[in-house]
Chains A and B, each alone.
Chain A
Amino acid sequence: MTSANNSNSSSFFPPRAQRSYANVAAGTAQTSPFNTLAAAGGNAGGANTFVNTATGTAANTSGHTELPTQRELYDRYTAEQEAAQHTASHIPSQLSEQAARQRSKSEAQSMEIDGRDNAAWKRPVSSWSADFGRLDGRMGCLVHDEHPAFFTPSYLRSSRHVQRLQLAWDEHMSELREEAQRNPPPPPKQPSLSTSSSNVNLNKMHAQHIHRPPVQDVIERLPPLSEEDKTHPLPSRWSEGDHMNGLEVLADGSEVRFTGVTKSQDEAASVRADHHMPKEVGLYYFEVTVLSRGKDGLIGIGFSGRKVNLNRLPGWEADSWAYHGDDGFSFACTASGKAYGPRYSSQDVIGCGVNFRTGNAFFTKNGVYLGVAFSNIKADKIFPSVGIKKPGEHLRVNFGRYPFVFDIDRMMREEQSIVEREIARTDLSNLHPPDDEKALIHNLIGQYLAHEGYVETAKAFGKDVHEQQQSLSNAPQPFDSQDSEDDIHALNRQKIRRSILDGDIDLALKYINTFYPRVLEEDRNKDIHFRLKCRKFIEMMRRCHELSAVTSSPTTVTKSVASLDSNGHVDNDDDEPADTQMELDDQLHREASRGLEPPGANDDVDMDASQELPRKASFMKHQDLLNQVYLYGAELRKAYINDHRPQVQKMLTDCFALMAYRDPMESVVGGLLDPSGRVGIAEEVGGAILGMIAFFPSYLMERKVIYEKMDADVLHSEPRQTALRRVRKTLRADRGAAGRDGDEDRRRGGFCERKGGLFEALNKSNYLRRGMRIGRLPMD
């Protein structure tokens, strides 16, 4: 078994890596004949394939690159381990993966030697590295050291923390890319004489690694990210600054070697990773390969706090924990260890994992779980750490850039299923008493529907729920729709939403200015107003485009032209308050004369708004329409010419770019025309209105003026007088409340609409209820 493996010079990859590497191999198939071969081998099964693939890939690999002796040794050794642990069925794919990895590894080495990057060969590590490679090439590797390619350890693939880190990394990279485009990269730096000579001295054995001298690092290091505390990146390498003198960090921070001399018995040299293990991942794991133990080596692998002295092995100091190779003992913050596991030596792969949920730590040796070593680890920030103290000791770490020997993925899955089971067992009765699960969910849904203005759904949902409950009781009661009061705002918002979704921005603006005057003039809503205006421009362009494209459907054209013509000017908004006032007066008047007749299904304001529109049935020529668009665009530009914020100017530029294209749909800015853009604006407008309702008192004051100007007519009849009295009473109450509640800022920060729509019990917000009562008074 052993000799067979040796003769193939094969090595292993653990089975859990199969999927990822199969993908990776497939992804690189077009660039690498080896990987194509490897992928093919991976797909086939059986012992014959295994042998063929093994020899094939091994021959090809060795034909192209000279593997370093140590790596070969390591690979052989680990292959033996693998053969002992895994069945033959795994091996073909492992081999293919190994081939892929060997390629990428050796390529990475050669890349380092000649100092050039190669995107194609970096790809096998993960898909993002293609990006990285491109970026690198363009930027002359300016930030290479501080921006090692992002990697996701296999067991953290579903971790949201890591996803977030990756997103942040991507953003950062694209920023850098933009930066690089603006400022052409400086010529590549020549390493200074002194550093290169020191490299030669220090790295005779490992000439393939370029040791980056610390000085250079300081220059290249970006200012520390201010949000570092928030983002908690994964450890990615050994820290260049955080290690003892006798210890040397090699191979882009993945290896450490002892080069110093120890004076006393106790003295050693330790190193910590660049970042602490982020608690957010739940379970953190890394592996260290002992490349060489040296003579009478003494190696400690574990983790330690940031402030722990590095001149001793981890585990001996307070706030540090480690598993030592010479005796197999585990040391928890003390110099006297406990018998824990076997000893380890050259070519052993030692894994170290910390479970943040249980507070336990464990170690693995060559993929075998050794049991819990420490429990109750309470330290806040712990860094992966290793310590060595004898010449010749040489370790390599894997923070997840490569597949692990130990099946940590399975442990992660088990851990997740433990939590899943725990979650499934959770008792819900205390979450929101007295609601049980069903009532709680119904409340949530009802609130959401009402809040988002899905009035019809809310009604239908209420009806369905009611039916369901009625089916249980013996005495059925008719469904009592509780619409009216609470739904008014929701209905209004829904109208606004609907018109935006239909692309009729003018109608939406009209509604907004009628129902919620001055919402859009609020400082914090200026942006939304701007986006609405831009959207209007876009919609005009859309119609223009439709007009030129679909001449055979005059109905849509007429409609669109009519509504376009109705409200084509920006400054129209300024007239709105007056209109609104009139409309409200009008409305109140009509309502009053109608007496206590319940409000009809069709809203009066709605009718008014549409009747006021001049209905142009005439067919407008395409050119005229374009002129309209142009005029509107010019006004838009004029209105925002002084707004120098880049996003505003960019939006304007993009919008106007639409005019430049003969077929804007197909242009680069064509995405703007897509109706899906309406959804976001609709949501934002809804949010703005809710925000307005939130600090209702001040908003109310404005409306009060409107009420006080009400026609004397209203005062005559008895019901009207009562109505007015009610208005005044509520207003007074509100003013009083405003005085009591203190400054407006606090109210702003305070909470706002909490409405349940259907679920009256949820209606606890006094502001809102007061507001609604007043808001809907004219409709009574």
Chain B
Amino acid sequence: MECELSPPWASPWALSDNPFDNTHQRFFAYVAGVGRTNIAWRERKADLKGISSDINWVIMDYLVSEGYPGAAEKFAQETNLCRPTDIESIRERVRIRNAIHSGKIEEAIGMINEIDPEILDLNPQLHFQLLQLQLIEIIRTVLDKQSSQQNIPAQDFLPAIQFATEQLSPRAPTDPRYLTALEETMALMIYTPEKMPAEFKKLLDVKLREKVAADTNRAILESRGERAEAKIRSLVRARAWAEVQAREAKVDVLHMPLSIGLDAVDEANGDAVMT
């Protein structure tokens, strides 16, 4: 059974986009309370009735938008939810993500253009980031090859310089941020890995790949007119926000730290108080 993955808005308790609503409370209350037996919890449960399918939706939403096709498929089977419309499109995004993660940026750019050439045209910043990452990867291969102390011969960097001249330098003047980024990237060629200052070293961190991959995923989703961010992210943030608010207001009902339902609660306390 295939159908559009649409939110179960039907019930008045359903998840809404209203920040004043307490969906995140109910969400975390549910997650924290699953399997609890005490009476207070059971009373709350009445309030949470029917949220299970909402949570299923939230999870499916995450699996689809963040690219977990295998899990999404199984989840659809196990929950009797509708199958996400297009598992293949998820896999497509996963392939791009994996390519970026493993440093095959050129491949990734090719795949993105195959999906929709407009994506990168409409997101020049993303395009620049990808190219910057590609330059970093070219430099990285050189750096990795010359792991010893000796200086790297300058001609090894020729492909990197050529790439920077051809691809990045024409874009750099359009935005001061590009210029800074380009300069920082080029600086990677000056230092040996051991002496590199931290601010440049972070360019070589795989975290950057992750970030660019996430941005790419978002851009592809946006280009398809889908929500760029999974609902659960906003739920988690709303939960964190609520905690910050509660702390600021010094609401004394709340035990600190607040449980978000991932840890066992101290038995002496018995009941974790949810916001």
Contacts and interface: CB of A to CB of B under 8 A. Distances in A.
A751 interface: yes
A694 B35 contact: yes
A76 to B, nearest CB: 37
Nearest to A424: B237
A729 interface: no
Interface stretch (B94-102, B156-164, B187-195, B219-227): B94-102
B206 interface: yes
A287 interface: no
Contacts of B35: 451, 687, 690-691, 693-694, 752-753
B173 interface: no
B111 to A, nearest CB: 14
Interface string A120-155: 000000000000000000000000000000000000
Nearest to A469: B101
Contacts of A463: 70-71
B98 A467 contact: yes
Contact of A441 (B77, B94, B233, B244): B233
B236 A437 contact: yes
Contacts, number: 186
Contact of B20 (A158, A683, A754): A158
B262 A444 contact: yes
Interface stretch (A340-348, A414-422, A702-710): A414-422
Interface string B62-105: 11000111110111011110000000000000100110011000
A501 B63 contact: no
B149 interface: no
Nearest to B38: A749
Nearest to A676: B80
A426 B265 contact: no
A629 B271 CA distance: 45
B52 interface: yes
B267 A464 contact: no
A552 interface: no
A432 B233 contact: no
Given A694-B37, A746-B267, A454 B31 contact: no
Contact of B264 (A160, A166, A419, A764): A764
A748 interface: yes
Contact of B31 (A447, A457, A695, A751): A447
Interface in A163-219: 163, 166-167
Contacts of B261: 444, 447
Interface residues of A, number: 73
A400 to B, nearest CB: 16
A482 interface: no
Nearest to A160: B21
A611 interface: no
Nearest to B101: A471
Residue with the greatest number of chain A CB neighbours at <10 A, chosen from B35, B75, B271: B35
Given A423-B238, A749-B38, A432 B262 contact: yes
B270 A461 contact: no
Contact of A416 (B19, B31, B77): B19
Contact of B12 (A163, A428, A431, A687): A163
A282 B21 CA distance: 11
Contacts of B232: 441, 444-445
A456 B18 contact: no
Contacts of A741: 267
Interface string B224-261: 00000000111011111101100000000000000011
Contacts of A524: 37
B19 A423 contact: yes
A548 interface: no
B244 A426 contact: yes
Nearest to B16: A158
B270 A460 contact: no
Interface of B: 12, 16, 18-22, 31, 34-38, 52-53, 55, 59, 62-63, 67-71, 73-75, 77-80, 94, 97-98, 101-102, 206, 209-210, 232-234, 236-241, 243-244, 260-265, 267, 270-272
29 contacts: A160-B16, A160-B18, A160-B20, A160-B22, A163-B12, A428-B237, A444-B232, A445-B62, A445-B63, A447-B261, A448-B34, A448-B55, A456-B78, A457-B78, A461-B63, A464-B70, A467-B98, A471-B97, A471-B101, A472-B209, A679-B80, A687-B34, A690-B34, A691-B36, A741-B267, A749-B38, A750-B265, A750-B267, A753-B34
Given A448-B31, A449-B59, A468-B68, 5 more contacts: A437-B233, A443-B262, A448-B59, A457-B71, A460-B70
